[in-house]
Chain A
Amino acid sequence: MRRIISILMENEPGALSRVVGLFSQRGYNIETLTVAPTEDKTLSRLTLTTFGDDRQIERITKNLNKLIEVVKLVDLTEGAHIERELMLCKVKATGAQRAEVKRTVDIFRGQIVDVTSSVYTVQLAGTSDKLDAFIGTIGDAQVLEVVRTGVSGIARGEKVLSI
């Protein structure tokens, strides 16, 4: 099952490698990973997605909690949550394709943020599924380059992850 684990940790060198090490040591793959300082510069917020059954995830979260630099963590997939991923994507846009690509971008509520005579650079945000769907619709042949930020997530409602 796909999980989104969100971690609040000390913004210190080495902290990230300890988190990643717990996964690689056990042979679990990290699907996406995004990390940046929070409003409190001494803390970083790390969001990662991975696949695992309940037992695996329980073990990994317990061990993540044991890391000295991990302040708090939550498995967002346990409750209602919002997830977003940002994608920048270069798409071939020549001839009749130009209008078609534009239309598709509009349907997906993306933006064209850079234009040349043959290429559109599209910015699109949403769930990972939506980004996948966009690429599927445009078609592999048209897509020149894709860069995705990985998933960021936050719980719905009043619940907050803070110290």
Chain B
Amino acid sequence: MEKLSGAEMVVRALQDEGVEIIFGYPGGAVLHIYDALFQQDKVQHILVRHEQAATHAADGYARATGKPGVVLVTSGPGATNAVTGIATAYMDSIPMVVLSGQVRSDWIGDDAFQETDMVGICRPIVKHSFSVRNVEDIPEMVKKAFYIATTGRPGPVLIDIPKDKTSPLVKLPYEYPKKVKMRSYSPVARGHSGQIRKAVDEMMKARRPVIYAGGGVILGEGSEHLTKLARLLNFPVTNTLMGLGAYPGSDKQFLGMLGMHGTYEANMVMHSSDLIVAVGARFDDRVTNHTQKFCPGATIIHIDVDPATISKNVRADVPIVGPVKQVLEDMVAMVEESAERPDEKALERWWQEIQGWREYHGLRYETNGDGPMKPQQVVEALYRATRGDAYVTSDVGQHQMFAAQFYKFDKPRRWINSGGLGTMGFGLPSAMGVQFAFPNATVACVTGEGSIQMNIQELSTCLQYGLPIKIININNQALGMVRQWQDMQYGGRHSQSYMDSLPDFVRLAEAYGHVGMRVDRIEDLDAAMEKAFSLKDRLVFMDIYVDPSEHVYPMHIADGAMRDMWLSKTERT
């Protein structure tokens, strides 16, 4: 059997796992691994400018492809810089394997240079973590890490590797296991058929049904079956922030996003429904508003691969633990075989009611004529310029909500944002990950002047690898979402939500070797977008100045029901 050093084992295991690309940053504790990487060409290493960006890039790559993202960082600060990205992936259940260096094992616990207890720090934000104790364990550990990260409810897995375990002086036999079996880990393979039958029976009885689909549908590759089921039954569908694209955004049965900044119709439908079919969603507090007042008349079917999610926030009447794809597939088959259908007349009345809600609000906003443009107009222009077919990553704040509301995602894995953790600084590095996965695709990063500055150093990475990302900086000269809350709940006292002395983003982009464009007037917007997207091989930074006083609406009224919303600055339900 071939003999390899620990460092070579790590790299070979990645190759054997089929990893094509990893994101990282070198440092003392991982130099043996970097040396092994240098001597091969199967695994491409992308050098970021900050370890947080490495995790977000790997995360973006994973969200866009469904394959696990892989990160390599050194010990101490390299590892702690990766923490925010790991937590981001954990909250959104993104498959990721993070390899962190560690000081040599006989120094652990002695405050050695660049030592930190990475396994300890990460404990609450990883699906699992490993620490290498014996060189010969490395192949199986890597195999297990990928297996855990990608199966069941996916998530990040950490492997902490002390430097002495990668020494080139110790060579041991290497064999990559074909399979792993763990007695303590076996994700549910199938949903219970009796429960599925029960759920289908409920669907047939429903008169005011709604399908509420989340990120789990995308992660679990269930979009196709979800769409089939919805169309078979003529049920309205709403997606969570994480689920956008799970059901075609431009379809007539689609209600838009639900929740805190969901559409009026989606929230009204949820509140008034008699049956909620929750698929791969977790009844997050940004969705439900006050759980005691949540959808009082609804029977709840809850399908999720993670049993701990079911009945966590809202009690399910028909819980189904299983992979969403298989469960939806079985449901479609049952409905197709059955002659029974939900009451057509009742559904027709339901759709009429929905139409009324749509017409009442429908994401309307007021434009300023010749005055400053509205952020919504920027997203709409982006939609037009990209023909609705871009990968859109976003940062966190108002621009994220406007993108979620106004860009109609027709396909899964096109909308890439930090939903659970809400990580500012996510947008640009995750766009890099997407662009690496699909070099010829159109990738837009919708961001704001606050968020973009949290990882702006990655403009340098983008130049190094020639990534033609289009950065849509919706510049309202303020931390817009914070400012909105301060307007609404703190008497307009804008405590620290204004950033004085913003950089000249055009010249900043140019300094990094990219194209910078500034847009101030609405009449220039479409032409500027067209021009930016016609520059196929250049990164373009579009600095677009918008009305700083705009708020995101609808917005849930705190501690109310789903139907309790602000619809504009002066109008509430």
Contacts and interface: CB of A to CB of B under 8 A. Distances in A.
A18 B307 contact: no
Nearest to A15: B184
A59 B312 contact: yes
A10 interface: yes
A83 interface: no
Interface stretch (B122-130, B374-382, B418-426, B454-462): B122-130
Interface stretch (A68-76, A84-92, A125-133, A142-150): A68-76
Question: What size tier do the contact residues of chain B reach?
Answer: 10 to 19
A21 B124 contact: yes
A25 B127 contact: no
A25 B307 contact: no
A21 to B, nearest CB: 5
Contact of B308 (A13, A18, A62, A69): A62
Contacts of B184: 9-10, 68-71
Contacts of A17: 120, 123
Interface residues of A, number: 19
Contact of A68 (B182, B308, B311): B182
A44 to B, nearest CB: 12
Nearest to B129: A14
Interface string A21-44: 100010000000000000000000
A154 B306 CA distance: 28
Contacts, number: 34
A123 interface: no
Interface string B75-114: 0000000000000000000000000000000000000000
Contacts of A66: 306-308
A111 interface: no
A25 B308 contact: no
Contact of B131 (A14, A25, A63): A14
A77 interface: no
B119 interface: yes
B148 interface: yes
Given A14-B129, A21-B123, A63-B308, 10 more contacts: A10-B184, A13-B131, A62-B307, A62-B308, A65-B308, A66-B306, A66-B307, A66-B308, A68-B127, A71-B183
14 contacts: A13-B131, A14-B119, A14-B129, A14-B131, A58-B311, A59-B308, A63-B308, A65-B307, A66-B306, A68-B148, A68-B184, A68-B185, A71-B183, A163-B183
Interface of A: 9-10, 13-14, 17-18, 21, 25, 58-59, 62-63, 65-66, 68-71, 163
